[in-house]
Amino acid sequence: MLHSPAELTPTLQTLGHTRTKPVHWIATASAMAAVIAGAGLVQPATGASAQAAEGPQAAAPDPAGITYPLDCKGAPQTVTATAQGDLDGDGRPETVAAVRCEAGSGTPPHAVYVLVQDRTEGARPRVVATLLEATQRKTATDLTVRDRTVTARLLGYSSPDVPRYSPDLEQLAKWRWSDGKFRQELTDSAVKSV
């Protein structure tokens, strides 16, 4: 039922005498705090407590201490970036590692490897796939794993005349596990403006 403004005016005038006091605000704040605290106690089991109930979760393989299939001619190998995630859908995370030879100067090319951790007690992580060979002479940056896809920005050189410290080509590379192997998608190379 609709009321005319004249019918509402007396009601507004009678409510005009009502004023809030600090005790009203304190009571409201206390009630809200109680509701929030209660909600925290009755939440469904998720996160760490749910994982504890299910048992220990598999850890992603540690990329340190592995000898990678990268020929550094006696120089040490350096892992410059890693990303973790379940790439093949088996419920166990893999580690993707960008590795290059350690050099005193310049920017050695990267190789990108996928590591798994065997379920055997005391087993060391091992390389199961090479996504990028160092012979492709690319630098891998922005390495991520999301939605079972590995993504990296690859930097390269348009000619031998381009200084090795200033790559002028850029590609976005994606690798996804499909039909028992990793399939690669590359964007077209574009020369970066200097």
Per-residue pLDDT reduced to its tens digit, 5-17: 444 444 444 444 4
What is residue 127's predicted lDDT score, i.e. its pLDDT? 96
Q: Summarize pLDDT for 54-76 with one digit per residue, the tens.
A: 445 678 999 997 989 999 998 99
Q: What is the pTM of this model?
A: 0.68
pLDDT at 57: 67
- Percentage of the residues of the chain whose pLDDT score is greater than 70: 67
Find residue 185's DSSP bridge partners.
174
For the chain, give the mean pLDDT: 77
115 touches 97 (CB < 8 A): yes
Q: What is the pLDDT, as a whole number, of residue 22?
A: 59
**Can you tell me the mean pLDDT for 110-116?**
96
Segment among 44-53, 62-71, 84-93 with least mean pLDDT: 44-53
Q: Residue written as tokens 């005016």?
A: 9
Neighbours of 175 (CB within 10 A): 23
Measured distance CA(67)–CA(74) in Å, rounded: 12
Residue 84 CB contacts under 8 Å (≥ 6 apart), including other chains = 60, 93, 94, 95, 96, 145
